[in-house]
Amino acid sequence: MIPVILAGGTGSRLWPLSRKNFPKQLMPVLGGEYSLLQETVRRVALLPEMSNPIVVTNEKYRFIIASQLQAIGVEPERIVLEPMGRSTAPAAAIGSMLALQSGGNPDVLLLPSDHYIHDVDPFLSCLSMATEYTEDSGLVTFGIVPDKPETGYGYIKRDKVVPESSGQGFFIDSFVEKPDFARAEQYISSGDYYWNSGMFLFKADAYLQELEKFEPEMIHCCRNAVDKAREDLDFLRLDKDSFERCPEDSIDYAVMEKTSKGIVVPLDCGWSDVGAWSSLYDVRDKDESANVSIGDVLLEDSTNCYVHSSERLVAGVGLENIAVVESKDAVLVSRLDRVQDVKKIFRRLKEEGRSEYESHTKVYRPWGNYESIDKGDRYQVKRIIVSPGQTLSLQKHYHRAEHWIVVKGTAVVTRDDEEMVLTEDQSTYIPLSSVHRLHNPGKVDLELIEVQTGSYLGEDDIVRLEDLYGRMYEGNSF
């Protein structure tokens, strides 16, 4: 069984923690040590028959994903880079084609990277049981047994039980869009409906055969994108021209609603798609006043609230059914029953070109990270962390000069034709248009303070001359 994990979404409804360049699947939004992606990979790795994962994402997240998988000791079978999003049906096709390259005709387990599962054992048992249907070329989706009339999920209506089987799988009658509350209540009372989890299990060739039957142009484009793909460091970069021509559609619409081989297997495992702050409220432990408090939080005379502090003390008095989410550069306050509309704020931030839409104050790079500490007219101060053995690109700037002060570790600095070694409490100056590079030769993080001065301090004022991470093709904005 090969897990194909989809990790390219933006998670707009979990703003301000989720941002375009650092979305929810890469964050430990549930608290604890691991991101949602890491939790997904660790969970499926508990099955002995599970192979290393194929992760499908985009180039913005590639180094973060590689780093997070390395941190949990997992070597992916592939990290596949889509040039643009084309929804889940093409991603499943790409994953299935690559799974076949490993030999045989393996089961493909298609999983979102940003879901929460409380009861892992029932989940794993259900996966193992569902393989009885894939042996007969069945395309399995897992329907979550609902515990309330939920209007935020799509539903799957079951038909008759699959004959000559364990009796736990049903043929699919139909997929249903998100209902209103009254209709959701009807679904729950009938006992014939499940929440659509977006998780699938099928033989690689069975899915590709059905996709070719219903979407021949899609599978043609996907094959070309794989055949013409190129290796880029540890990543597989799909051919852009081929993938750009690929129709965009979900696996539900492209295949599952049309095939006669679709089977829904009920799954009761404490699942949530973690799609909004209300979902996180539902799955977290609550205090005696039904509040969820994460981080440095003090509440008085408050009930049914979700309060998340990332950087500072957050105090609340007399609150009821309120969500408060604090990050270093933004604070969200919403009624708990209105948090689905956070995506409207996310959209407005994008339309207005606000930095809070795109990135946090801390920005991750393949060599480490940097964090904006202060900014004013013609200056900006950053804290830069360079991981052991890592090197920034050889670059220059047309509009800014830089002062570097080492506060921890050792730096090898290239500045035009000279090279120097700086240790703690030492500094250097990088003049305007000077060609420069920074390297950490040590075994501990290199930490330095950078003071930028100049007429323009945007991140796109970077001219790369050499780069170890293959970013030359991207232009100068990364």
Instruction: Summarize pLDDT for 38-58 with one digit per residue, the tens.
Output: 999 999 999 999 999 999 999
Neighbours of 443 (CB within 10 A): 9
Question: Which residue in 283, 327, 319, 276 sits closest to 299, CA to CA?
Answer: 319
Residues 304 and 268 in one domain: no
Of the chain, the percentage scoring pLDDT greater than 90 comes to 89
Residues 320 and 264 in one domain: no
Q: Which residues contact 313 (CB under 8 A, 6 or more apart)?
A: 296, 297, 298
The pLDDT, as a whole number, for residue 459 is: 85
Residues 431 and 320 in one domain: no
Q: Both tokens of residue 183? A: 């209709």
Of the chain, the percentage scoring pLDDT greater than 70 comes to 99
Is residue 353 assigned to a domain?
no
Residues 69 and 166 in one domain: yes
Mean pLDDT value across residues 456-464? 90
Residues 261 and 296 in one domain: no
Chain-centre distance of CA 176, in angstroms? 26
- End-of-domain residue from the set 218, 246, 272: 272
CATH of the domain at 369: 2.60.120.10
Residues 261 and 283 in one domain: no
Span 326-373, pLDDT tens digits: 999 999 999 999 999 999 999 999 999 998 999 888 888 899 999 999
Task: State how far the Cα of 279 lies from the Cα of 262, in Å rounded to an integer.
Answer: 28
The yes-or-no verdict on residue 143 having pLDDT over 80 is yes
What's the whole-number average pLDDT of the chain?
94
Is residue 268 assigned to a domain?
yes
- End-of-domain residue from the set 226, 252, 272: 272
User: Can the peptide bond before residue 247 be classed as cis, meaning omega within 30 degrees of 0?
Assistant: no
Residues 229 and 92 in one domain: yes
Residues 141 and 266 in one domain: yes
Residues 324 and 418 in one domain: no
Q: Which residues contact 184 (CB under 8 A, 6 or more apart)?
A: 149, 150, 151, 155
The pLDDT, as a whole number, for residue 472 is: 58
Is residue 382 assigned to a domain?
yes
Q: Which residues contact 368 (CB under 8 A, 6 or more apart)?
A: 384, 385, 386, 387, 390, 440, 445, 446
Helices (H), 135-274: 181-190, 204-214, 216-227, 240-244, 251
Is residue 294 assigned to a domain?
yes
Question: Helix (H, G, I), strand (E, B), or coil: what is residue 308?
Answer: strand
Span 150-195, pLDDT tens digits: 998 999 999 999 998 887 999 999 999 999 999 999 999 999 999 9
Question: Which residue in 271, 280, 426 sits closest to 342, CA to CA?
Answer: 280
Mean pLDDT value across residues 459-473? 83
Task: State how far the Cα of 52 lies from the Cα of 4, in Å rounded to an integer.
Answer: 9
Residues 310 and 383 in one domain: no
**Judging by DSSP bridges, how do beta strands 368-376 and 362-365 pair with one another?**
antiparallel
- Is-contact 34 76, C-beta < 8 A? no
Residues 306 and 450 in one domain: no
411 or 234, greater pLDDT? 411
The pLDDT, as a whole number, for residue 476 is: 40
Q: Both tokens of residue 419? A: 């090279």
CATH of the domain at 239: 3.90.550.10
- End-of-domain residue from the set 272, 305, 333: 272
Count how many domains the chain has. 3
Q: Both tokens of residue 279? A: 């979902």
Count Cα neighbours of 122 within 13 Å in the Cβ-side half-sphere.
13
Mean pLDDT value across residues 394-418? 96
Is residue 356 assigned to a domain?
no
Question: Helix (H, G, I), strand (E, B), or coil: what is residue 296?
Answer: coil
Mean pLDDT value across residues 402-418? 97
Mean pLDDT value across residues 194-206? 97
Residues 251 and 395 in one domain: no
Domain that holds residue 110: 2-272
The pLDDT, as a whole number, for residue 458 is: 87
Is residue 355 assigned to a domain?
no
**Judging by DSSP bridges, how do beta strands 155-161 and 170-176 pair with one another?**
antiparallel
29 or 370, greater pLDDT? 370
Is residue 221 assigned to a domain?
yes
Span 421-439, pLDDT tens digits: 999 999 999 999 999 999 9
* pLDDT confidence band for 475 (50 / 70 / 90): very low
* pLDDT confidence band for 31 (50 / 70 / 90): confident
Concatenated DSSP letters of 2-29: EEEEE-----GGGTTTSBTTB-GGGS-T
The pLDDT, as a whole number, for residue 233 is: 84
Is residue 354 assigned to a domain?
no
